[in-house]
Amino acid sequence: MTLLDSTIWSKRFFSDGWQDSPTEYAVVEPATGDQLGVVGQATAADVTRAATRAAEAQREWAARTPAERAAVLRRAGDLFAQHSAEVEEWLVREAGSVRAKAAFEAGLAVGECYECAGLPSHPQGEVLTSDEARWSFARRRPAGVVSVIAPFNFPLILGLRSAAPALALGNAVLLKPDPRTAISGGVVIARIFEEAGLPDGVLHLLPGDASVGQAVVEAPEVRVISFTGSTPVGRMIGEQAGRLLKRAHLELGGNNALVVLPGADVAKAASAGAFGSYLHQGQICMTTGRHIVHESLVEEYVATLAGKAKALPVGDPAREEVALGPIIDHRQLERIHGIVTASVEAGATVAAGGETKGPAYLPTVLTGVTTAMPAWREEVFGPVAPVLSFSTLEEAAAIVNDCEYGLSVGILGDVGTAMKLADQVDSGKVHINEQTVSDEPNAPFGGMKASGTGSRFGGGAANLEAFTETQWLTVRPDIADYPF
């Protein structure tokens, strides 16, 4: 039996074992429209039962020794490595990932579990000074039940990067994947932790529609909500969390800038720009959505980038060697083309692409853009690279910051100049002489402004902050004397 044998999960969801569901929906391959399987759909009532069970199981899980929890996370990492080929195949077929992206994501999953295996043994607080005759401590305690809502684009790692540290730190997890990637973003995680020996009731996989999303936010047992997705949905979840007095970690959209400084190597810069804009068809929150190029290089850069765009093969990643696969669904495909068309009607020029190819969108380069055009101002979430020139470093900084988002910035060229620019931009991440897409399990990940609430995922300090509560604890040698 393989890890993802459909006889285990077909028409089921995972909550204290695999449960049959009266409702279900098809898993569809975006490249072909073929049905890959059938997922059991949870309901709001299922979430209610799962949250109650999770709260019960969490107390027992948190009481396990750090070594016991660490062992489950290490075993999960081993299993991801052992079953990487199977996991990658699902990422290719269900999420439309090209094989290199699928391999990268599966590798990140291994690293995430190994990194999180160290969390149980991290220092869990600090000793405080006190003017009283007592010891005073601030210690970290598990938050309790954590709801994780994950998107379709990097479905495995964007669910796992919250679920794994939450579990390692003694929490229980309700995981709601995007319905379009419920296998690679949900079943994979459930099966890995099931095989790794995670106790029953600690992790619940609850695929479903918006009513399930609402339920995992509102369940009284849930204390922390970790959401990765669009800014409009994130705003709604943040409002609900505020009303319910729950913490919400919101990792939202981005319209990320790549700045090409004067004197930069144009060939290398265009290669970086193409990777940043076209990896996974531009369906990444960190995608390079704005190319800001010094006026002395802009013509050469556009020509080089357009040449690369025209040469990149586009097609079905499961059956061809391609650089770009399909857009996740027809609705998103139409949205991308609508943004490009509106920008062209406003005066932009298509230097490459600008067309659909079956379920895919050709890698696109736009010139003659203004900052008012939708291809510049909006998060396209597609393989579209608009280019704008600048003359001074101050102008470049102003263009970068003239954006509602603040997730990732890449700066290419002279390091000293890049450092000066980095000090002027509002961004959760800055990469000098790299493009905008980058992630590591031990690095704090998150954005500013409309890119999120400032919370971070990754590394010991950020994960401890995200998935634990601080408790003040004092100890006296004897019962204190009081004036009553």
- Secondary structure of residue 266 in the 3-state scheme: helix
Same domain, 381 and 404: yes
Mark whether 229 and 266 lie in a shared domain: no
Q: Is 116 a catalytic residue?
A: no
The answer to whether residue 1 sits within a structural domain is: no
Question: Are both 110 and 86 inside the same structural domain?
Answer: yes
Examine the domain organization and report whether 217 and 301 are in the same domain: no
The CB density around residue 139, as the number of other CB atoms within 10 Å, is 15
Whether residue 152 is contained in a domain is answered as yes
Is residue 75 domain-shared with residue 103, that is, in the same domain?
A: yes
Long-range contacts of 218-221 (CB under 8 A, 24+ apart): 218/244, 219/47, 219/48, 219/51, 219/145, 219/147, 219/174, 220/51, 221/51, 221/52, 221/54, 221/55, 221/144, 221/145
Quote the mean pLDDT of the chain: 97
Is 321 an annotated catalytic residue? no
Q: Is residue 444 a part of any domain in this protein?
A: no
Instruction: Say which CATH number the domain at 276 has.
Output: 3.40.309.10
Q: What is the CATH number of the domain that holds 41?
A: 3.40.605.10
> What pLDDT was estimated at residue 211?
95
- pLDDT category of residue 458 using cuts at 50, 70 and 90: confident
- The neighbouring-strand residues paired with 452 are 251
Q: Are residues 135 and 20 in the same domain?
A: yes
Model pLDDT, residue 432: 98
Q: Are residues 199 and 223 in the same domain?
A: yes
Pair 163, 275 in one domain = no
What is the span of the domain harbouring residue 131?
A: 6-252+452-473
| pLDDT value of position 286 | 97
In terms of DSSP H, where are the helices of 279-404?
298-311, 330-345, 374-377, 393-401
Do 285 and 242 sit in the same domain of this protein? no
447 falls within a domain: no
**87 plus 163 within the same structural domain:** yes
Number of domains, the chain: 2
332 assigned to some structural domain: yes
**Which residues lie below 8 Å from residue 47, measured CB to CB, with a gap of 6+?**
174, 206, 212, 215, 216, 219
* Catalytic residue from among 113, 116, 285, 403: 285
Residue 455: the pLDDT is 77
1: pLDDT strictly greater than 70 = no
Q: Are residues 132 and 196 in the same domain?
A: yes
C-alpha to C-alpha distance for 57 and 142, rounded to whole angstroms: 13
Residue 389 lies in a domain: yes
Structural tokens at position 97: 């990932």
What confidence tens digit (pLDDT) does each residue in 323-377 have? 999 999 999 999 999 999 999 999 999 999 999 999 999 999 999 999 999 999 9
Whether the model pTM is above 0.85: yes
- In the chain, the percentage of residues whose pLDDT exceeds 90 is 97
Catalytic residue among 94, 112, 221, 251: 251
What pLDDT score was predicted for residue 363?
98
pLDDT of res. 2? 87
Indicate whether 409 and 427 sit together in one domain: yes
